[in-house]
Structure formats: C-alpha cells, structure tokens
Structure 1
Amino acid sequence: MLKRLLRDHLVTLDGKKIIRLTPEGLRRAEQMVRRHRLAECLITDVLKVPWWQAYEEAHLLEHGLSDVTEPSLFETLGRPERSPFGYPIPGHGAPPKLTMITLTDIQEGEQVTIDRVFEEDEQLLKFFDEEGIRPGVTVRLEAVAPYRGTVTAQIAGRSIVMGTQVASRIWVNRSK
C-alpha cells in the first residue's frame, strides 16, 4: 500500500521513514472523510437506520459517492457541519479545533456538553444510544471512583455508571 501511495504521489517518505501526506494526498483523504460523514448523515437522518449502526454502514456507501452526487447529497441534507457522532465534516473552510477533554478529565459536580463520541465500535455506540449519550447532550459528573475504575454521570435526570475506558471515549466541552 505504501508503494502505491508513493507511486501516486499521495505521500512522501523522508530519510527517517516519516510518512507525510502530499497536498493531493490530503485533498483525497479529506474527500473520503467528507463522503463518509455525509453517508452517516444520510443513513441516520434520511434512511432512519439506527444511530449505532451508521458508522459501519457508511463505509459501504462512501465509495459510491462521486464528485457529481456528493454536492447534491450535501445540499439535500441541509449542509450539515457535523456527523451524527459530532465530528466535523470537511469542506467548511479551516477545520475547527476539536476539544481533547474527555469525561474522565473533568471534576465531580462539573457540567459539560458532549461534543463527540468514539464512532468505531458498534457495541460501544449501542451502549451510548441506549443511555442517551450523544453530541449536544448535557452531562453532570456525579462521582469518580478511581479504584473501581468507574465514573457516574447524570444525563437527563438519570445516573449512569460507566467504566473510565468508556468515559474516555466521550469528548466534552466545558460550559461557559
């Protein structure tokens, strides 16, 4: 694969074996991410496939979007700026700075808003879906139990206990 990427001038490889995308490589990578995230929007918003299944299903659709259909899909979906999982859709100018703060980084009693969730684990997404853990939802951290490896978060008036590994897959914005 690396030989093909080098051959097609999509990456460079320096003397220290560091791989970097070329401008064309970056353009194509952003295009694929854009198509994938638009496919996620199509799958959840129009086709009404369950949210937790959208990531995997989008992999099947993203390769079928062309330079002709992608702009029409973007317009049909209402020009979305974020995927259903909270990730920015490339093509809106400079990419926004993403928060790196997770639910495990905040203090007990702090209230935050979910920015995005890890999207590459269908079982984890199913848990998030069942518990109402989605971008835009307000969360208050009730308790941290480091020796148990859990946190308790309040969402929509319910207390949800989850492992710190799960909580580290939920990126949040602090309330202002």
Structure 2
Amino acid sequence: MVAVKSPLSSSTEDYLKTIYAFTEWQDAPITPSQLAARLGVANSSVSEMVRKLKDQGLVDHRPYGAVHLTAEGRSVALTMVRRHRLLETFLVTELGYSWDEVHVEAERIEHAVSDLFVERLAAKLGDPQRDPHGDPIPTADGVVPLVDARLLSELDPGHEGTITRISDENPDMLRYLAAEQIALDTQLTVVRRKPFGGPLVVRISQGDTARDFDVPDEVADAVWIHNDHPHPGCTAVRA
C-alpha cells in the first residue's frame, strides 16, 4: 500500500473508510450529503473535512460533485478496512460476540491497535478472506478478494445460489436473520414474488431439508448471492 507521509487523525481515517465502503458493492460514488448521513454529522462538517482531505491529496472533489478517493486515500482506507474486518472476525471467532455486536466494538478498537498487532492478529486467524458478514478482508499489500455476487432483490425466479454477503448496517436485521437461521453460505433458490407488492419467496436448503421463506424487501436489498454453490469463489483485485 502507498505510505502516508504523516499520521492521520481517527476522523480522517473514518472518512476515508466510509468513502471506500460506500462503493465497494456498487458503482455510484458517494456525495457529501450521503457521507454526512453515513457518519451522522452535519453537511457543513463534511464540506470542511472534504476540503482538508483534498488538500492532503487523499480525495478528489469538485463543488457539488461526488467524492472520490485518490490512490493514497484508497490505500489508507484499505488499511482501516483490513483492521476493522479482522477485529470483527476476531471478536466473533475468538471472543464469542454475535455478528450484530461487532461493528461498533471494532470501531472503538481499530484506531488504537498497531500495524504489528493487526498482522499478528491476521496470522492468528489464519489470514481470513472475509469477515463475519461476508465483506472481503484486504490483504496487507492491498489486494481485495472480491466475490462475484448480486443482490437478492435483483434475481429472477429459478436462480440458485449461496449467500455470500449480508450488509451489517442494521443490527436488528442481523438478529432477525440469525433467529431465522439464515447466515453466510446458506443455499437458496428464488421461487417467486408474491402478487400485489408482496415479498420475495425463496427456498432455503439446509442439509436434507428445505423450507420456503418470505423475504422482506429491506432484507432482499441487503443480501448478496453467489451463483456457484455451495462455496463462493473469489477473484483477487489489487487496490
């Protein structure tokens, strides 16, 4: 990854990580207002920070336009994303956290740990490629193991696949899915859309049993499906 010339503030790192995460699973760049909403800050605060990030060579931005990471900004973002997702994985696999608890906890820890700690943590975990929600964990040299996947809401009846990623933005949704025994690597088939704006119906395959499940639209817009099952394949993409 590109070396940053001077230490950055936690706030700067959070901005860069958020800009990166917004575009990781879709192509549209983030706007300052979307950035403000995601960070829970005022638009004026975002405008000031974006100006600072541009002055530091970390983002590209024109007035009233979207915000784009530069190569240096992307490098910092990937470093923080790696930290965050390794910590989430550690909290679940080693400390018994549930997947709906780890995002906020990792946010508290990620700025305090050293690079040495992060690399030893990765080695301890066996250098995992994804976190508990299916988000890819960048390698230390900036390679992102992306999975070819599509949103469940975009799939047609008859499509079969495996859940490869579930958005962690809504902890209540994660708890709901856990209660319904729906998680990463769950195999499913899209059956149909119920009429009059009804939910999407999928058939969940678990071992020798199968059951139909009505998927609320909010869930269908937060679940990504890979069409090779039972296990997703990865394509390494260098940052």
Give the shorter-chain TM-score range.
0.7 to 0.9
Using the size of structure 2 for normalisation, the TM-score is: 0.66
What stretches of structure 1 of length at least 5 have no aligned partner? Answer: none
Question: How large is the RMSD of aligned CA atoms in angstroms?
Answer: 2.2
Matched-pair contact (CA < 8 Å) for 1:112–1:139: yes
1:86 to 130, 134, 155: 134
Q: Which residue of 2 aligns with 1:52?
A: 100
1:29 partnered with 2:77 = yes
Cα distance in 1, alignment partners of residues 111 and 142 from structure 2 = 23
1:164 aligns with: 217
CA deviations on 1:88-142 (whole Å, 9 max, x unpaired) are 1011754344435222222323321111011111111111211222221111223
Candidates 149, 155, 166, aligned match of 1:117: 166
Q: CA deviation at 1:15?
A: 7.2
The one-character-per-residue Cα deviations of 1:28-77 (angstroms, maximum 9, x if unpaired) are 11111111100110110011111221222221122222212110010011
Counterpart of 1:131, as a letter, is E
Percent identity of paired positions between Structure 1 and Structure 2: 30
> Which SS does the other structure have where 2:100 is aligned?
helix
Q: Given the superposition, is the C-alpha separation of residues 15 and 60 from structure 1 closer, same or farther in structure 2, using an over 3 Å criterion? A: closer
Distance 2:52 2:226 in 1: 40
Q: Secondary structure at the match of 2:150?
A: coil
2: CA distance between counterparts of 1:97 and 1:45?
Answer: 22
Match of 2:154 in 1: 105
Q: Any unmatched runs of 5+ in structure 2?
A: 1-48, 230-239
Task: State the Cα distance separating 1:146 from its structure 2 match.
Answer: 4.6
Residue type of the alignment partner of 1:171: W
Distance in 2, matches of 1:17 and 1:165, equals 28
Change (3 A) 1:17 1:173: closer
Check conservation: 1:52, 1:129, Cα contact below 8 A: no
* Residues in 2 aligned to 1:165 and 1:15: alpha-carbon distance in whole angstroms: 33
The corresponding residue for 1:72 is 120
SS in 2 for 1:52: coil
Amino acid at match of 1:20: H
Aligned with 1:95 (options 135, 140, 144)? 144
- Give the equivalent residue in structure 1 for 2:202: 153
Match of 1:131 among 174, 180, 193: 180
> Hey, what does 1:144 align to over in structure 2?
193
State the alpha-carbon separation in 1 of the partners of residues 156 and 70 from structure 2. 41
Alignment match, 1:173: 226
